[in-house]
Every structure is written in C-alpha cells, then in structure tokens.
C-alpha cells in the first residue's frame, strides 16, 4: 500500500510540474515524437509518444517477438529491420533506449549489448539522436520508485497516457516507459547519457525553480491531458 501511495504522490508531482511548464510552451508549442525501445533478443518492446508542449500522448506501442529464431544473427537482423521500419513509419525526432543492466551472466550481457547496438545503428543510419537510460532511472522517472515492478510501471503509464489496452507483454510498456522517461527529462531539466555528445542540463527540481522563478509565480491553471 505504501508503494502505491508513493506512486500516486509522484503522479501528482508530475502533473504539477507539467502545469508549471505550461507558460513557456504557450509561446511556442513545439511538437516532438519520441521512440522508446527496450532491446532484447527474445522480445523487443517499443513505444512512441508525441510531445506537444507539456502534454504527451500515446501514438503506438508493441513488441517484436524473436523466440522462433534460433540464429542470434537473425535476431539482430530482425531488431535492425523493425527499428528502421518504425523510424521510417513514424518519423520520430529522437530515440531513447533502455541500457542493458549489469548481471552475472556475461553471455546474456553480450547479447543484450548487441541488441542495443543494432537498434542504435538503425537510428544512426537515419541521423536520429539517441539517448539511453538505466532501468532504475526509468522506473524512478515514471513511478518515483527506482525499484518499482513492471506491473507498477505499466499501471502508471496507463494513468498518464489514458489508455486501457493491456499489452500482451510487459516489454511493450517497458519500451513506452523509456520514451516517457526521455520526455520528462526536458521538464525536470535533468541530463542524460546522450550518444554522440549533448548539452548536459542542470539536474533536479530545485535547480528548475531557482533558474525559472518567473514560471513558478502567478496563477497556475491545470492542464488537460489529450488522448
């Protein structure tokens, strides 16, 4: 019960941050499509969102199943082709990936690293900016708890993005979570480990308030989230 209270409070904080972010975006509502990918050699999850000012909405999410492929090279080829297909179909402005977690099995780490690498190669072939985030960072951004379960992350995403469909695999919401995590970085003014080098932004909510005092004064109107 305590965990769910923390998730609810985190959701309220996110909504409050979105409201504070609104004044600047009323001047110039810039749209951005983000592709999020959770690379894997058995199942690859992906999610796409559209960011318009402080609002984000779901475009698509799904999985790429590769259990039927025995050859590891064929799995990598499938990841490359599907990632390229998603980029060509939805024309995202950037791609965010979940970084492989460190485990005891070096062979698993090697395969996950290859899966991430071919997804990156697909993005780079289309000159798409890339960022990667650790699993704990993604969970923290979505639920406020770096140790949240996949089910808790999925439930929070359903609340934030107003969708009721239950994905066949939680890998789909994992991919979607990466995209949402990346969208939140601009709002929270937190840096990420961007590939190819990028401007490192100031970290933390306190830094945002300090550097944007004009945005936190005055009347704040609630933002209606679009579907």
Q: What is the pLDDT of residues 56-73, one digit of tens each?
A: 999 999 999 998 888 999
The answer to whether residue 227 sits within a structural domain is: no
Q: What pLDDT, on a 0 to 100 scale, did the predictor assign at position 188?
A: 46
Q: Which range of residues forms the domain containing residue 125?
A: 2-215
The answer to whether residue 223 sits within a structural domain is: no
pLDDT tens digit sequence for 8-41: 666 666 665 555 555 544 445 678 999 999 988 8
The answer to whether residue 77 sits within a structural domain is: yes
Mean pLDDT to the nearest integer, 85-90 = 97
Instruction: Please report which confidence band the pLDDT of residue 222 belongs to, taking 50, 70 and 90 as the band edges.
Output: very low
The answer to whether residue 226 sits within a structural domain is: no
Mean pLDDT to the nearest integer, 83-105 = 89
Q: What pLDDT, on a 0 to 100 scale, did the predictor assign at position 200?
A: 36
- The 3-state DSSP class for residue 139 equals helix
CATH number at residue 112: 3.30.420.10
Total domains in the fold of the chain:
1
pLDDT tens digit sequence for 100-159: 776 667 888 888 889 999 999 999 999 999 999 999 999 999 999 999 998 899 999 999
Terminal CA-CA length for the chain: 28
* Beta bridge pairs of residue 35: 48, 95
Residue 70 known to bind ligand: no
Mean pLDDT of the chain: 77
Residue 174 known to bind ligand: no
The answer to whether residue 69 sits within a structural domain is: yes
The whole-angstrom separation of Cα 39 and Cα 71 is 17
The answer to whether residue 94 sits within a structural domain is: yes
pTM over 0.85: no
Residue 67 known to bind ligand: no
Active site residue ranges: 38, 98, 171
């Amino acid at each position: 019960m305590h965990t769910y209270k923390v998730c609810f409070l985190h959701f309220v904080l996110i909504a409050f941050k979105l409201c504070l972010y609104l004044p600047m975006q009323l001047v110039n509502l810039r749209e951005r499509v983000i592709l999020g990918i959770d690379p894997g050699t058995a199942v690859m999850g992906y999610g796409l969102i559209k960011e318009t000012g402080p609002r984000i909405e779901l475009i698509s999410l799904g999985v790429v199943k590769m259990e039927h492929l025995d050859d590891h090279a064929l799995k990598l080829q499938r990841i490359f082709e599907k990632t390229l297909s998603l980029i060509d179909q939805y024309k995202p402005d950037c791609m965010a990936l979940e970084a492989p977690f460190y485990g005891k099995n070096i062979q698993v780490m090697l395969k996950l690293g290859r899966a991430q690498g071919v997804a990156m190669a697909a993005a780079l072939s289309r000159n798409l900016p890339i960022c990667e985030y650790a699993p704990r960072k993604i969970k923290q951004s979505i639920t406020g708890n770096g140790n949240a379960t996949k089910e808790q992350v999925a439930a929070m995403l359903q609340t934030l993005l107003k969708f009721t469909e239950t994905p066949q695999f939680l890998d789909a919401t994992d991919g979607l979570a990466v995209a949402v995590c990346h969208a939140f970085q601009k709002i929270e003014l937190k840096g990420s480990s961007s590939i190819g080098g990028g401007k490192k932004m100031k970290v933390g909510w306190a830094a945002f308030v300090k550097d944007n005092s004009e945005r936190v004064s005055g009347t704040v109107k609630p933002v209606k989230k679009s579907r």
